[in-house]
Chain A
Amino acid sequence: MHNVVIVGGGPAGLSAALAVAAAGAPVLLIDSNSRLGGQYWRNSVDELENQNEQHFDLATGLLLINAVKARKEIEVWSEAQIWSATNDEGKNTLRVIHQGKSKIVNTANLILCTGAYDRTLPFPGWDIPGVMTPGGVQSLLKGHGVLAGKRVVVAGTGPFLLPVAAGVIKAGGEVVSLVEANKSRRWVSSFIVILENLSKIKEAFYYIKTISQGKVRGQFGQAVIAAHAADNGELESVDIAKIDRNFKVKKVKNIKCDVAAIGWGFTPDTSLAGSLGCQQVVAKDECVVVWVDSNQQTNIPGIFAAGEITGIGGSDLSMAEGVIAGIAAAKFVGCKVEVLKAHRKRRAKRQRFANALIKAYPIKVGWQLWPNDQTTICRCEEVSLGDLKFSVEELGATDSRTAKLFTRCGMGLCQGRICGRSVVDLVAKELNVLPTDIDRISAVNRPIITPISLGVLAQGE
């Protein structure tokens, strides 16, 4: 029987791997991290009792990780970077650097679970050392036992700000301000969604309890709109503004801090799926996601996708999708298994919760007025908003792709992963039009998935 190749060792990938193995097919699990678990279950050692106290539910993660390690049908490649992927008439070729060695994987059966990373918005000073993403601050705590700073501002929007603030407090740091841009907790209005997802509510209260023990009160309807450096060029303070419903700035105050963790939800990393030619669509939250059918299959038969790359929804939804993708992929390679109604029901329930969150934490266009002409938009190539405007007003760029070619905005080492979404919005604003789905999808097109040295490229086949 042919094996199933799974990319990504987070909640979706682990669940998918176990489902395929349980159906009786062999699995190759390719993961870029040195330890399984993904961003959500990032961990530092193998035993639960030796972990730093940063997880609400690491027990579930370790159960899955240890189950994956215990199954002889599953081969795991850790520290493996896929830098190129192509699909040629049903045959997929992945080029991988696995622990320093160049390898090629050919397969017709793939499950993509490549996850997401923090979405950021540009503002004056967002490139000063000390301004970070919430995911970065949490990864330092969970994976490395390091508190990013003593006085921390946590800001942006979304439920993810809560575990990050709680984590800082648990590690002995001070959260000098916890700032949520959106005003209400609108999602509370849907009782059915809450009853269906009580474990998520329990998790939220667990963080809120820790946060209130740290004597921190969340501020709603506010945002960090500027950061300032001390003489040494490192973060000294941030400007926190009261903002209206459309994120337009009202009143500003300055707060001293040495770290500002600022995140605006997540961006799926669909680069691998895009390279393979999987159809991508724009979701309600304006994320570019991989289109899948009810069996988590993409438009290309044999390629499945699960987790955040099919729509931001958190670890529980990712696991539910991973199980379905795993069963469907196992069936595709000939195993006698079927996706059950119970699996679909579980996914639907968690999808409703994810939808409620997306509705409750929108990102409004007012943020586009926070950067000024000197503000760096592309951190890699040091392209300012002024440069972008010049490319539209003086050079005649008529869309974000052309503006990118004129300015190199989004053409640096991160390949537009950080600025790409913002550039699409900012260029459209200059042109006084709305971004199209084509603009958004073309901004995530990356022929080389991760930067590699010319030496590797020269090795060829």
Chain B
Amino acid sequence: MSQFEIQFTFDDKTISAVSGQSVGAALLAANQRSLRKTRFNKDKRGIFCGIGVCFDCLVVIDGITNQRACIIEAKPGMKVQTQDGSNA
């Protein structure tokens, strides 16, 4: 299986990823360390456990909130957004 480059957007930026990479890995490679703001204190959070356990790297993907950036594979054309609080 050969790897190829894909692109998706994060807020208004275009992000490149290698096929098979997670959304979170591609964002970190693009030096995007903050992925969301917390509900109460509006603190920035990013990847912490990196394996889908901690739910800290939550982003909005194609309109769906609470998606774990660290385990969701990047797909061409995905619309990824910073999650602000619960985005509800």
**Which residues of A come within 8 Å of B, CB atoms?**
32, 34, 39, 44-46, 117-118, 120, 127-133, 135-140, 143-146, 148, 232-235, 258, 269, 376, 379-380, 382, 412-414, 417-418, 451
Min CB–CB distance B38 → chain A (angstroms): 6
Query: Do B21 and A136 touch (CB < 8 A)?
Result: no
B10-34 residues at the A interface, CB under 8 angstroms: 18, 20-22, 25-26, 28-29, 33-34
Q: Which of B29, B40, B55, B58 has the most CB of A within 10 A?
A: B55
Given contacts A382-B39, A417-B54, is CB(A131)–CB(B48) below 8 Å? Answer: yes
A136 partner residues in chain B, CB cutoff 8 A:
47-51, 70
Query: Do A139 and B51 touch (CB < 8 A)?
Result: yes
Min CB–CB distance B13 → chain A (angstroms): 16
Complex A-B: 21 CB contacts under 8 Å = A32-B52, A120-B49, A127-B43, A127-B56, A129-B34, A129-B47, A130-B33, A132-B48, A135-B51, A140-B50, A144-B20, A148-B28, A234-B44, A379-B45, A379-B48, A380-B56, A382-B39, A382-B41, A412-B55, A413-B58, A417-B54
Which single member of A44, A118, A128, A235 contacts B20 (CB below 8 Å)? A44
Query: Do B22 and A413 touch (CB < 8 A)?
Result: no
Given contacts A34-B73, A118-B49, is CB(A140)–CB(B28) below 8 Å? Answer: yes
Which single member of B33, B38, B44, B49 contacts A117 (CB below 8 Å)? B49
Which single member of A235, A258, A379 contacts B54 (CB below 8 Å)? A379
Other A-B pairs, 5, CB within 8 Å; known A139-B51, A234-B44, A414-B55: A32-B52, A136-B49, A143-B22, A146-B21, A380-B56
B44 partner residues in chain A, CB cutoff 8 A:
128-129, 233-234
**Which residues of B come within 8 Å of A, CB atoms?**
1, 3, 18, 20-22, 25-26, 28-29, 33-35, 38-41, 43-56, 58, 66, 70, 73
Query: Do A233 and B48 touch (CB < 8 A)?
Result: no
CA distance A417 to B49 in the complex (A): 11
Given contacts A117-B49, A117-B51, is CB(A234)–CB(B33) below 8 Å? Answer: yes
CA distance A418 to B56 in the complex (A): 10
A233 partner residues in chain B, CB cutoff 8 A:
34, 43-44
CA distance A140 to B43 in the complex (A): 23
CA distance A89 to B20 in the complex (A): 42
CA distance A131 to B49 in the complex (A): 9
DSSP majority for the B interface?
Answer: loop
DSSP majority for the A interface?
Answer: loop
Given contacts A146-B28, A379-B48, A414-B54, is CB(A129)–CB(B41) below 8 Å? Answer: no
Query: Do B33 and A414 touch (CB < 8 A)?
Result: no
Query: Do A139 and B50 touch (CB < 8 A)?
Result: yes
CA distance A379 to B45 in the complex (A): 9
**Chain A residue nearest to B58 in the complex (CB):** A413
CA distance A196 to B25 in the complex (A): 39
B39 partner residues in chain A, CB cutoff 8 A:
382
Min CB–CB distance B36 → chain A (angstroms): 9
CA distance A178 to B49 in the complex (A): 19
B33 partner residues in chain A, CB cutoff 8 A:
129-130, 234-235, 258
Q: Which of A44, A143, A235 has the most CB of B within 10 A?
A: A143
CA distance A189 to B74 in the complex (A): 48
Min CB–CB distance B79 → chain A (angstroms): 19
Query: Do A133 and B20 touch (CB < 8 A)?
Result: no
**Chain B residue nearest to A32 in the complex (CB):** B52
Min CB–CB distance A83 → chain B (angstroms): 13
Given contacts A412-B55, A413-B55, is CB(A382)–CB(B50) below 8 Å? Answer: no
Q: Which of B1, B29, B49, B73 has the most CB of A within 10 A?
A: B49
CA distance A148 to B51 in the complex (A): 14
A451 partner residues in chain B, CB cutoff 8 A:
55, 66
Query: Do B66 and A135 touch (CB < 8 A)?
Result: no
A44 partner residues in chain B, CB cutoff 8 A:
3, 20
Query: Do A133 and B43 touch (CB < 8 A)?
Result: no
Which single member of A130, A146, A414 contacts B25 (CB below 8 Å)? A146
Query: Do A137 and B55 touch (CB < 8 A)?
Result: no
Query: Do B51 and A39 touch (CB < 8 A)?
Result: yes
B29 partner residues in chain A, CB cutoff 8 A:
146
Query: Do A129 and B46 touch (CB < 8 A)?
Result: yes
Query: Do A145 and B50 touch (CB < 8 A)?
Result: no
A32 partner residues in chain B, CB cutoff 8 A:
52
**Chain B residue nearest to A145 in the complex (CB):** B18
Min CB–CB distance A287 → chain B (angstroms): 15
Which single member of B20, B22, B50 contacts A135 (CB below 8 Å)? B50
Which single member of B25, B38, B49 contacts A144 (CB below 8 Å)? B25
Which single member of A146, A235, A417 contacts B53 (CB below 8 Å)? A417
